[in-house]
Structure 1
Amino acid sequence: MTYLETTAQFYSEVAQTPQVGLCCVQSSPLQLPGLKIPTKMQEMNYGCGTTVHPAELTNQPTILYVGVGGGLEALQFAYFSRYSGSVIAVDPVTAMREAASRNLEIAAQENAWFDPSFVDIRDGDAFALPVPDASVDVVAQNCLFNIFEPADLTKALKEAYRVLKIGGRLIMSDPIATRPIPSHLQQDERLRAMCLSGALTYDQYIQHLVNAGFGQVEIRARRPYRLLDCQGYNLEKPLLLESLDSVSFKVPIPDDGACIFTGKTAIYMGNKDVFDDSAGHVLQRGVPVAV
């Protein structure tokens, strides 16, 4: 059995018997006016952060959600794009697709604005997304891509890039490791499926995004996720995993490299009105600029 088959089996199990708090940071789902999230969806919130960033969801975008889970974020995305087929949710696990469909029917009963037709649930996986080139505004995934081994992660990111329109956004939430994860944990397929042993370091994660062609990456949140202790995971010292929320834009990579925004700010305080480094970066004196 391959690690992907182990993962599919694992999520088939948890689709049928939800495990509250599985591989995720426990937090309340994003609260939106007029949105009621069914209890069953919350129990199946198998993510490590959030991919629902309202600023990226204006003008009713078409959204491709990879790995539907219990349907929670698909419902949240539909809140911003209220038309038939606005959210395409792809999942290779039959039991998970069926569970999400049931949960969305419950959501329709509890939310007068929502119609299940807003979410089109399809059989498929991250390596062969069932949509044409340059056809969606947003691709999102929550705590899925970290499961992939590096070669498969490369395939998944290239697929996301393929289906995005120019200027489209890849919104992701994944665990990252504060140091490389030892091989004995990486090879544990069950732990990998649980989002505990496949995480890359921050630098490796960002480099994969740039290698896929994304010219701009914005870090939206970074917080503690899980601590792998010495006794339970056969480690010489504890290993902290963090949850990283990011938005990557399908724009050309500048000549001097991709733009990676991490929440830092630059302020030019020189004597001239404007600072121009002749490499495309212009700063007005006294005006903060994200870098």
Structure 2
Amino acid sequence: MSYLETTAKFYAEVAETPQVGLCCVQSSPMQLPGLKVPKEMQDMNYGCGTTVHPAELTGNPTVLYVGVGGGLEALQFAYFTRRPGGTMAIEPVASMREAAMRNLKIAAQENAWFDVSFVEIREGDAFNLPVADASVDVVAQNCLFNIFEPEDLTKALQEVYRVLKPGGRLLMSDPIATRSIPEHLQKDQRLRAMCLSGALTYDEYIERIIGVGFGQVEIRAKRPYRLLDKQTYQLENDLLLESLDSVSFKVAVPPDGACVFTGKTAIYTGTQDYFDDNNGHILQRGIPAAVCDKTAKNLSGSNPDQILITDSTWHYVGGGCC
């Protein structure tokens, strides 16, 4: 049985018998005015962090959610789209599609603004999204792509890139590993299905995103997710997994490399009123300016005595320069 077949079997099981404690179900879902999340959805919140970022959901977008789960984030996206088919959810596991639809019907009873037609659930998978080229504004996935083998991850990202409109956004939340996961854990298909053994390191994960053509990546949050202890998992040392929320934009990769924002700022500390690097970056003295990691490195390397670069906050919501 392949790891994808094992994953499908595993999620068919948890669709029928929700496993409280799997992934991040102990966290409270995002609170939005007038939105009530049914308990059934919360019990099936098999995600990691969140992909629902209101700043990316203005302008009446069309949203494609890959892997419907219990329907929680599909409901949250529908809160912003509020029209028939405004949110589409793709799910290969029949029992999960059925469970999500049951939960959405409960949500319609508990939320006067919501109609089940606002979420269209389609059969399909991440490697063959059943939507046209350049047809959606936002694609989202939560704790799914980390399950894939690296080459399958690239295929899934390429498929996302295909269906996004120019300038469209990929909203993701996945576990990442603070160091490479040992091979014996990577080969454990059930652990992979449980989002515990397929995670890449941060650098590997970002490289895959950029490699398919996303020219700008913004890190919205990075937080501890799970600890693989050395006793249980036969490791020399404990291994920490982190949850990474990101937004990737379908824009061209600049000639000097993609822009990755992790919350760094550049501060001019010289004696003039401002600093101009003659490359599009003007810094006012003493005032932090959000910059991507590439620009931070360039500014620090060329002007180490006049430019202070602050550490990554791993929280960024736009407005900087690259």
Aligned partners of 2:165 and 2:250 also within 8 Å: yes
Q: Distance in 2 between matches of 1:168 and 1:271?
A: 41
Amino acid at match of 1:9: K
Contact kept in structure 1, 2:25 and 2:43, CA below 8 Å: no
* Equivalent position of 1:53 in the other structure: 53
Between the two proteins, the alignment pairs up a number of residues equal to 291
SS in 2 for 1:64: strand
Q: Tell me the secondary structure at the aligned position of residue 30 of structure 2.
A: coil
Q: How does 1:35-184 map to 2 (within 5 A)?
A: 35-184=35-184
The question of whether the paired residues in 2 share the 8 Å contact of 1:71 and 1:104 is answered with yes
Query: 1: CA distance between counterparts of 2:132 and 2:276?
Result: 41
Q: RMSD over aligned Cα, in angstroms?
A: 1.2
Task: Give the letter aligned to residue 239 of structure 1.
Answer: L
Residue 272 of structure 1 and its aligned partner are, at CA, apart by 4.5
**Is the Cα–Cα contact under 8 Å of residues 25 and 42 in structure 2 kept in the other structure?**
no
Q: Residue 7 of structure 1 aligns with which residue? A: 7
Is the contact made by 1:38 and 1:110 (CA closer than 8 Å) also made in structure 2? yes
**Does structure 2 retain, via aligned residues, the 8 Å contact 1:25–1:225?**
no
Structure 1 residue aligned with 2:236: 236
Counterpart AA for 1:258: A
Task: Go from structure 1 to structure 2 and tell me whether the alpha carbon gap of 1:272 and 1:251 turns closer, same or farther (over 3 Å shift).
Answer: farther
How far is 1:166 from its partner? Answer: 1.0
Letter in 2 for 1:131: V
Aligned position for 1:247: 247
CA-CA distance at 1:275 after TM superposition: 3.4
Q: Tell me how far apart the structure 2 counterparts of residues 189 and 144 of structure 1 sit (CA, whole Å).
A: 14
Alignment partner, residue 259 of structure 1: 259
Secondary structure in 1 matching 2:268: coil
Q: Deviations over 1:28-83 (max 9, x none)?
A: 00001100000000000000110011111112211000000000000000001100
Change (3 A) 1:84 1:265: same
CA radius of gyration, larger in: 2
CA contact (8 A) 2:25 2:46 kept: no
Deviation of the 1:25 alpha carbon: 6.1
Mapped to 1, the partners of 2:248 and 2:210 lie a distance apart of 9
Alpha-carbon distance in 1 for matches of 2:72, 2:25: 15
Cα displacement string for residues 9-40 of structure 1 (whole angstroms, at most 9, x for unaligned residues):
00000000000121226210000110000000
Specify the alignment match of 1:186 in structure 2.
186
Unaligned runs of 5+ in 1: none
Question: Retained in 2: the 8 A contact 1:273–1:284?
Answer: yes
Partners of 1:139 and 1:169 within 8 A in 2: yes
- Tell me the distance in 2 between the aligned counterparts of 1:145 and 1:281: 35
Q: Identity rate of aligned residues, in percent?
A: 78
Q: Contact conserved, 1:219 with 1:261, CA < 8 A, in 2?
A: yes
User: Tell me, what secondary structure is at the counterpart of 1:267?
Assistant: strand
Structure 2 letter corresponding to 1:161: Y
User: In structure 2, how many angstroms separate the alpha carbons of the residues matched to 1:131 and 1:279?
Assistant: 40
Amino acid aligned to 1:136: V
One-letter code aligned to 1:72: L
- Whether contact under 8 Å (2:70, 2:103) holds in the other structure is yes
Q: Could you tell which deviates more after superposition, 150-159 or 259-268?
A: 259-268
Note if contact 1:175-1:195 (Cα within 8 Å) is conserved in structure 2. yes
How much has 1:279 moved relative to structure 2?
3.9
Q: Could you tell me the TM-score, scaled by structure 1's length?
A: 0.97
- The answer to whether the 8 Å contact 1:23/1:196 transfers is no
SS at match of 1:170: strand
CA contact (8 A) 1:21 1:45 kept: no
The question of whether the paired residues in 2 share the 8 Å contact of 1:25 and 1:49 is answered with no
Indicate conservation of the 8 Å contact 1:213/1:253, yes or no.
Answer: yes
TM superposition score normalised by structure 2: 0.88
Q: How far apart are the structure 1 equivalents of 2:31 and 2:88?
A: 22
